[in-house]
Amino acid sequence: GAGVSQSPSNKVTEKGKDVELRCDPISGHTALYWYRQSLGQGLEFLIYFQGNSAPDKSGLPSDRFSAERTGGSVSTLTIQRTQQEDSAVYLCASSLVDYTEAFFGQGTRLTVV
Amino acid sequence: DAKTTQPPSMDCAEGRAANLPCNHSTISGNEYVYWYRQIHSQGPQYIIHGLKNNETNEMASLIITEDRKSSTLILPHATLRDTAVYYCIVRASNSNSGYALNFGKGTSLLVTP
């Protein structure tokens, strides 16, 4: 497909388990962003990649969160020892270069039970 | 701090023009105004952006005041499918977060039959 693809679309996990969320950006897009949207809340920026590098990881909510990007393409957001407050929709966006418009995927809805 | 102010909600009759205002009085000279919308349970969708000139595309028109302190998004013939939360975003560069979008609370637009 031509758009940003995220998988899985839905994930239910038990508290304390680790989860991996995947983002396939639009082909050729160098910038990639992760956001989180909790129920009824606005979008919260988590992390930005330019190529495979993330200049600043301080937007991640805690040290249980990590993200990587390989080959300048696919990105994975990992949450270790999930907590109920991690329940949210995790959204990925990509743009051709930093300053061009960003396109979003449909998100992964994470539910921690 | 979203740097923009929008009314929390608006109504519009189907077929009429929807005019969504946004104040961004502290905008800097190199900052663009972006508009996105989020239809329920979907990822944000890019609509349009501009710097100082008015812009038009197949979705909408963007009118930016001469002093750039405010703008209006115009949906010329609103349909029921335009019901969504509309976000006005001042997009700036940050070395650590790239051009991450700072989503505020947006305007919830309800298009009625």
Helix locations, chain B, DSSP H:
none
B46/B41 Cα distance (integer angstroms) = 15
Average pLDDT over residues B92-113: 84
pLDDT tens for residues A32-45?
Answer: 999 999 987 889 99
Cα-only R_g, chain A: 13
From the CB of residue A16, how many other CB atoms can be counted at a distance below 10 Å?
A: 10
pLDDT tens for residues A54-92?
Answer: 987 888 999 999 999 998 899 999 999 999 999 999 999
A84/A102 Cα distance (integer angstroms) = 29
Task: Compute CA B23 distance to the chain's CA centroid, rounded to the nearest angstrom.
Answer: 10
Q: Report the alpha-carbon angle B68-B73-A1, nearest 5.
A: 115
Mean pLDDT, all residues of chain B: 92
What is the pLDDT, as a whole number, of residue A37? 95
What is the pLDDT, as a whole number, of residue B2? 56
pLDDT tens for residues B17-31?
Answer: 999 999 999 998 888
Cβ pair A43:B101 closer than 8 A: yes
Residues across chain A: 113
What is the pLDDT, as a whole number, of residue B97? 64
Extract the runs of DSSP E, i.e. beta strands, from chain A: 5-7, 10-13, 19-24, 31-37, 43-50, 65-69, 75-79, 88-95, 103-104, 108-112
Cβ pair A45:B106 closer than 8 A: no
What is the pLDDT, as a whole number, of residue B95? 62
Min Cα–Cα distance to chain B from A43, Å:
6
Q: Tell me, yes or no, if A48 comes closer than 8 A to chain B by beta carbon.
A: yes
Cβ pair B100:A33 closer than 8 A: yes
Name the more confident of B52 and A16.
A16
- B48: closest chain A residue by CA: A101
- B44: closest chain A residue by CA: A104
A107 contacts on B by Cβ (under 8 Å) = 43
Min Cα–Cα distance to chain B from A48, Å:
5
B41/B39 Cα distance (integer angstroms) = 6
Omega before residue A8 within 30° of 0, cis: yes
